[in-house]
Amino acid sequence: MAAKWEPKNKNILITGAASGLGAAYAEALLKEGAQNIAVLDIDVKTGEDFVSKLNETYNNKAIFIKCDVSKEEDIKNSFNIVLNKFKRIDLLINNAGIMSDIESMWRLACDVNWQGLVSFTMKAVRHMRKDEGGEGGTIVNISSTAGLCKYTFLPIYGGSKGAVLHFSQSLARGPFYDNTGIRVITLCPGPTATKLMQGLDNRIVETSSMNQIKSLSDVQKIQSIPSAVAAMMKLLKEGDNGSVWLSANDKPVVELTEKINKHLDELEKLTLA
């Protein structure tokens, strides 16, 4: 990167930001001087209450927009509302997610975790790209340790998060940054102390996997929200286009880009052999 990125004077859109990590990212960015924050979420009451509190502290720099990330019309309308209000979007954080593999939920979860994220990303690329009159920008797509590991009790969720990782790296490859001025960065958080981790036993494929959940909890602790926020701020300020970052176990964020690229390059060579 030519220069270190800073939140100051940036216009930011965050999905799934009424509570949990999305809300924590929004507040952290405002604390460091963000110009405007658009909080998108399906939970109207929580979102409006959160934005009201933000505006008391940060001089009316936040707006709330109801958005169901599983619905293309909502995505289109929300993105346009933010553009009309802010005139420019500098940072998109695709944070909205559903962790559920049960039969009644997995299609909706995939729409939110994967298709909605793709739709927001491509709209942001079209708006930001310098080779088509934009000013560049940053897109952070939230994958997961479930996109890196084989968790048999959440194969659908893990599959959607693996897709996010591959999509983001594929999009960012080659001359993408040189042509567009857009960084696409992926964050893979481990289990974090948000509502997403509550009642997990009711959202897995089969109850026989509960022993694996217990063993996962023994190996991988549930990290604090501040730990995940610190990871986000570091990758925003220092991350190169195409980089992948791991935030887990309340440890400092780790960049995985070199390891993942080495693995994928080896596989690509095999496909061409």
In this structure, of 2-16, 189-203, 229-243, the range with the lowest mean pLDDT score is 189-203
What pLDDT, in 10s, does the model give residues 187-204? 999 887 777 766 677 777
Residue 211 binned pLDDT confidence (cut-offs 50, 70, 90): low
Listed in sequence order, the residues at least 6 apart from 132 whose beta carbon sits closer than 8 Å to its beta carbon are 126
For the chain, what are the domain ranges? 11-272
What pLDDT, in 10s, does the model give residues 243-262? 999 999 899 999 999 999 99
Predicted confidence at residue 35, as pLDDT, reads 98
What pLDDT, in 10s, does the model give residues 118-160? 999 999 999 999 999 999 999 999 999 989 998 888 899 999 9
Predicted confidence at residue 220, as pLDDT, reads 67
Predicted confidence at residue 191, as pLDDT, reads 83
Q: Please state the rounded mean pLDDT for residues 176-193.
A: 93
Query: What's 10-55 look like in SS3?
Result: CEEEEECCCCHHHHHHHHHHHHCCCCEEEEEECCHHHHHHHHHHHH
Q: Which of 25, 58, 151, 157 is catalytic?
A: 157
Predicted confidence at residue 192, as pLDDT, reads 77
Q: Is 157 a catalytic residue?
A: yes
**Whether pLDDT at 53 is above 50:** yes
Q: Please state the rounded mean pLDDT for residues 101-122.
A: 95
Predicted confidence at residue 61, as pLDDT, reads 98
Predicted confidence at residue 223, as pLDDT, reads 83
Which architecture does CATH list for 11-272? 3-Layer(aba) Sandwich (3.40)
Q: Buried (b) or exposed (e) across 34-43, using 16+ Cβ within 10 A? A: bbbbbbbbbe
7 token code pair: 């939140």
In this structure, of 36-45, 56-65, 96-105, the range with the lowest mean pLDDT score is 96-105
Contact 188, 239 (CB under 8 A): no
Residue 215 binned pLDDT confidence (cut-offs 50, 70, 90): very low
Mean pLDDT of the chain: 92
Q: Please state the rounded mean pLDDT for residues 80-94.
A: 98
Residue 154 is inside which H or E element, if any? Answer: none
**Dihedral pair phi/psi, residue 240, rounded to 5°:** -85, 160
Predicted confidence at residue 209, as pLDDT, reads 55
**Dihedral pair phi/psi, residue 75, rounded to 5°:** -60, -50
Q: Please state the rounded mean pLDDT for residues 204-228.
A: 68
